[in-house]
Chain A
Amino acid sequence: MFSSCINFYSFKPLKMLRSIGQGVTRLLPVVCPTTHMAKAAVRVIEGRSVTKLLYEVRRIQWITTCKTMRCEVAEEEEEGEGEKKEDNIPPEKNRRQIIPVETSIKYMQSDAYKTTYGDEPVWVKYRRNFKGGLPPTKTRKTCIRDGILATGNPCPVCRDEFLVVEYRNLELIKQFISPFNGAVLPPLKTNICQKQHRRLLVAVNKARDYGLLTYDVPHRHYDYSEYYQPQQQDDTTEAGR
């Protein structure tokens, strides 16, 4: 069982971590909670979720605590140090490069975007593949697994690496809001994967919170008697008395 584990959980994760060290922001010392082994400083990758990173770190530490595997692991590590290239990922499926939001915003104004999508939202020309007449009630969970496109027909957002769903990328977010009632369009309509839909909801809420996206605020009615009583001189608004 362990040998098969070694093939699967080889030191590729650590190599991957090192090779994507381009967007390094800070170094983190990490302590394994079970063995209390202090690991060497691990680079935190921009854009990766912290939970995923911790999982990767824990995976590595599990391997290193197995005494029988340590020498093999050390050899692999030495090998891995020399080369820093990706492991044969086709470039069109490679999503490990993290595109900043500013680039995405510029892309939305570019000629490349215009020729690809024209004036329509990015999801309009996408065709979802499914069996039968009615589509499944949920779209796929995610198109990108481990930084690689894992499907043959990725969703409208995942297929274009320069479409970054973020609260500042208003041009993109507005395309997923209904022009009729101001609600976020359901994923059955836009055919984006569940992960991107969740990110979109977060981005829309955040943009509304910052005031970048406007909406019609519900009307608030005031009962004037709560705020001013003409007989008394001061308001009856002090509570807890």
Chain B
Amino acid sequence: MAAAAMRSFSVVGLGIHRFLGLTGRCLDVECITSIRRCSNTSYTTYNDVDPAPLFFEGEVQVVLQRVTGMDIDRIFRRRQQEKKSTPPKYQFLTNEEVDEYMSEAREKAESLLQMPPVLKERQPINTILETNTSLQAHHTDKYVFADITFGVSDRNRTILVRETDGTLRSAWWEERDRINQTYNPRPGRNVVMPKLFNEENLKSALGRQEYEFVLDRVCAQCEPDSSVYQRVCVCVYDALDTHHHHNTLYSTRHYGPMCFYLAWNKRIDSLLVSLIQEEKINTASDIVYLYQLIHKDCKSAKLNIEHTQHVEFIKGYIEEDCLQRAQVQLALQCYQDLQHQRQQHQHTVTNAHGL
């Protein structure tokens, strides 16, 4: 679809506003080129098979939530929200009231740990509703029509554009994002894409290990199926995997999608190594189980080892499907030796106590 570089368009909603800026089509091209530059390994965005049916499946969600963990101190850390802070309250409570408050806190924690959806990358919108050439000389700016009815969500809002040559089309994704922010402003989201998501700035931020900040920022700014979101997430997961910093996302909302992504791309080995080294053997076996849920036809699934026998389960994976076999095997071996030593030590202590 031919598009001239249009610099301004009018918006009809509550009133008529004048917008200045490049249109979505120019941004579209930018995004495509930067995807190629950023992903230099086998990591790619979700653009072939739709991961959504698998991601939202009950079993996978349960496993991801279990794997994410619930570190209360991490989740309820002090956040600086630019508001006036109040001193803490101390109360005397009965046991029942304490349980009530604890369950409320757990619900709040679960809502804070809600995972961003994992979706297939959205395809460009090319719907043309009408070509009315009699409107050609009528206006020199594009008109954007947005449905601002109360209760309509951003994703289902009707947004149409009447071009200068009289074509009435659906708005492109980038235009939709801008219009949604204009008429339904959300905290943390800007009309203009933050410069953090450009390649150099992203690399420098990841070099400073600000993984959670970048992911939070991209969640607040972009939709989970947009190309920018997918590209940034790929960059972050790439950096995490390379430097073995997976545990920086532990007990955050991004841990689940990260594990899903690594399992989808068959790259869970470095994650397994870090988990085993931290002695989180349950989590490691959960990751292998997740891998089997996603790739149902993998060899280790056919071994039918019980998922609860963590060490055997992981060994089955190492023998059949593992790609960095030596490292994972070594890590598991060290873990087993450590457990054995601890048991021995415990044994000698109990003997010494005469028990």
Contact = CB atoms under 8 A, between A and B. Distances in A.
Nearest to B214: A211
Nearest to B218: A217
Given A236-B156, A240-B127, A240-B158, 4 more contacts: A180-B80, A218-B81, A220-B186, A239-B159
A219 B160 contact: no
Contacts of A221: 111, 114
B246 to A, nearest CB: 20
Given A210-B195, A217-B216, A227-B117, A181 B56 contact: no
Interface in B33-73: 50, 52-53, 55-56
Interface in A216-241: 216-224, 226-228, 230, 234-241
A239 B156 contact: yes
A74 B140 CA distance: 49
A210 B82 CA distance: 19
A215 interface: yes
Contact of B201 (A183, A211, A214, A239): A211
Interface in A107-132: none
A228 B160 contact: no
Interface stretch (B4-12, B219-227, B284-292, B342-350): B219-227
B114 A222 contact: yes
A235 B156 contact: no
Contacts of A223: 153
Interface string A197-217: 000000000000111001111
B76 interface: no
A214 to B, nearest CB: 5
Contacts, number: 109
7 contacts: A181-B84, A210-B194, A215-B213, A220-B116, A220-B220, A222-B117, A227-B155
B142 interface: no
Contacts of A182: 80-82
Interface residues of A, number: 30
A240 B125 contact: yes
A209 B186 contact: no
A181 B82 contact: yes
A239 B176 contact: yes
Interface in B186-230: 186-188, 194-196, 201-202, 204-205, 210, 213-214, 216-217, 219-220, 224-225
A236 B129 CA distance: 19
Contact of B196 (A183, A211, A224, A228): A211
Contact of A226 (B156, B213, B220): B156
A226 B153 contact: yes
Contact of B159 (A230, A238, A240): A240
